[in-house]
A and B are shown apart, each in its own frame.
Chain A
Amino acid sequence: MATLYRREVQRFLAVAAQTVGGPVVSTLLFLAVFGVALGRHAPEPGGVPYLVFVTPGLIMMAVLQNAFANTSSSLLVAKVQGNIVDLLLAPLGPGEFLTGMALGGVTRGVLVGALTALAAALFVPLPLANLALCLFYAVGGSLLFALLGVLGGLWAQKMDHQAAVTNFVIAPLTLLSGTFYAVSSLSEPFRSIAYADPVFYIVDGFRHGVTGHSEASPLVGILVVLVSNGLLGVLCHRLLASGWRLRQ
């Protein structure tokens, strides 16, 4: 399992400009656009300056998208190129397989998040109200999306499938879960829909860790993260144990 984890990390570090540098720069560009476009007219959700409010959302968006991209692309590329047999021939149990893959995704997500936060802190004052909460939500959120990436990677048979999941599931989830705005300002039914979305609690909880401000109770968020990861982890484990879309 440790070898599989190292393999996953070496894989994205081998093309770090694309897998780490790119997302950091994109997130900073988002930040610049908001800063320039909104200027002094920016809202202050919950009394928090908008750039301080939106930065944790942008960081978490990068964390989640990269955790997902790592596991889903690793699995799909291995399937398409045929070198998935290297993993299938090895005496790895489904738990080891899942843990190695998912931790690779978590590492990329957290690394991208940390670098983005460091770079953003040069331009936006980030209070870092609760480091433990920040770490919990960064790891918990990236684990959830790494597991989603495993699920997507198992299901996808071609690049088009992966692109569909990324564009139609992951992007809306990460963009529309309170990343750029306060969910409490939404009208119904969109507010209720947002409260039913686990990703909202991840973004909101991480924002609480950074700014000290949140819309939902951080404890509810912790519970949501733990339960979501547990359910998705069990599902992925069962699918891997059955050989779904891996073994004929």
Chain B
Amino acid sequence: MTEHGQPAAAIVVEGLQKVYPGTGGRAAKHALKGVNLTIPRGSIFGLLGPNGAGKSTLINILAGLVTKSAGTARVWDIDIDEAPRAARAAIGVVPQELTLDPYFPAQAALELQAGLFGIPKAARRTDELLEVLGLADKATAPARSLSGGMRRRLMVGKALVHSPPVLVLDEPTAGVDVALRQQLWDYVRLLNRQGTTVLLTTHYLQEAEALCDQIAVLADGQVVAHDTTDALFRRVEDQELVVDVSPPVSALPDALGAFSPVLASPTRLVFRYGQASGNVDGMLAAIRAAGLRITGVTTKQPDLENVFLQLVQGSASDREGATN
């Protein structure tokens, strides 16, 4: 703990393992294989990974929805085994699945959730949450009349009724429109500025890049990368520059050798580079130096699957190198 009585790390997991037993003839699944992770207090932390990597399992263990097979987990310095109730009170979780209790409109649902967390009536934030999440005009509307975006916001509200120091968002913007996504991002940033540590899983690289201070990448139940967002993205050679040239060429001019482009067609060159190593100006100058005229330029943003692939491959070769 720091001198303010707050822990340095919001979440610490060590050697975390989860094996789902095999059922119906299916083999057991080793979903987490000894995950170690420290999430600093006050950060927005991104947990990325392909489907089935173990992200939701990790989050659900922290939330108490899944029982771990081995290892330890602490939320706000509270061991989830030694004090499960205190640990649950320290964390707010927005699950990935959109769920709704049809019997209770938004206002009643928030009141009930606050009651389940033992929040006295006078200390409840129901009206404030309805307002800030844009649900004030739907407070008493039948639950089934809420749109998908409204339901997502209501779930965020339910996770915040007890003002938890740690907020977990499992794919918070999956399937929501661009405007709502931006709204949610703004609200996450606001919560973070107010002191809430945010852990989010996402499939959107743009989301992770825009929001997160640090990112960990999970693949096959293991952390294959963990770094600051900037450092992680610099490691990925996934920027693409496509240049259309004239006149057509049958082979790569020697002047371009330093950049190792691919000759996609006699009139198209494709350069791949990382954010750190990219020298677009140099590439364009080399094309001109080769006596070619530039007739068109397009760029391609990183693709999440490729990022995962590179990080996973990089991690595998690192481990291989370490054992050789």
Contacts and interface: CB of A to CB of B under 8 A. Distances in A.
24 contacts: A3-B115, A3-B116, A4-B116, A10-B103, A10-B104, A11-B103, A78-B101, A81-B100, A83-B99, A83-B101, A85-B65, A85-B93, A85-B95, A85-B99, A86-B112, A89-B64, A89-B65, A89-B159, A90-B88, A90-B113, A90-B116, A91-B85, A92-B116, A248-B20
Closest 5 CB pairs of A and B: A3-B115, A82-B99, A90-B116, A91-B85, A83-B99
Contacts, number: 72
B280 interface: no
Interface string A1-41: 01110110011001100000000000000000000000000
Given A89-B64, A247-B66, A2 B115 contact: yes
Contacts of B159: 89
Contacts of B84: 91
Given A6-B115, A81-B101, A83-B101, A91 B65 contact: no
Task: Give the interface size bracket for B toward A.
Answer: 20 to 34
B305 interface: no
B243 to A, nearest CB: 50
A10 B101 CA distance: 12
Interface in B97-138: 97, 99-104, 108, 112-113, 115-118
Given A82-B99, A85-B65, A86-B101, A91 B115 contact: no
Contact of B89 (A15, A88, A91, A93): A91
B47 to A, nearest CB: 18
A7 B64 contact: no
A91 B88 CA distance: 6
A83 B104 CA distance: 12
DSSP majority for the A interface? Answer: helix
A86 B158 contact: yes
Nearest to A87: B116
Nearest to A7: B112
Given A81-B101, A92-B85, 5 more contacts: A7-B115, A7-B116, A83-B99, A86-B99, A88-B64
Nearest to A242: B67
A248 B66 contact: yes
Nearest to B116: A90
Given A3-B115, A243-B67, A89 B103 contact: no
Interface string A211-248: 00000000000000000000000000000000100011
Contact of A91 (B95, B99, B117): B117
Contacts of A85: 65, 93, 95, 99
A62 to B, nearest CB: 22
A86 B116 contact: yes
Interface residues of A, number: 25
A86 to B, nearest CB: 6
B157 to A, nearest CB: 12
Contact of A3 (B86, B88, B112): B112
B160 interface: no
A49 to B, nearest CB: 42
Interface string B61-104: 00111110000000000000000111011000101010111111
Interface in B30-62: 60
Nearest to A92: B116
Given A81-B100, A82-B97, A83-B101, A89 B63 contact: yes
A89 to B, nearest CB: 6
B29 to A, nearest CB: 11
A7 B20 CA distance: 32
Interface string A156-188: 000000000000000000000000000000000
Contacts of B112: 3, 6-7, 86
Interface in A58-113: 78, 81-83, 85-93
A93 B67 contact: no
Interface in A125-171: none
Contacts of A93: 85
A78 B103 CA distance: 11
B100 to A, nearest CB: 6
B118 to A, nearest CB: 7
Contacts of A91: 84-86, 88-89, 117-118
Contacts of A88: 63-65
A86 B84 CA distance: 16
A87 B64 CA distance: 11
Contacts of A78: 101
Nearest to A88: B65
Contacts of A82: 95, 97, 99
A150 B9 CA distance: 39
Contacts of B115: 2-3, 6-7
A82 to B, nearest CB: 4
B99 A81 contact: yes
A10 B84 CA distance: 28
Most buried by A among B63, B86, B99: B99
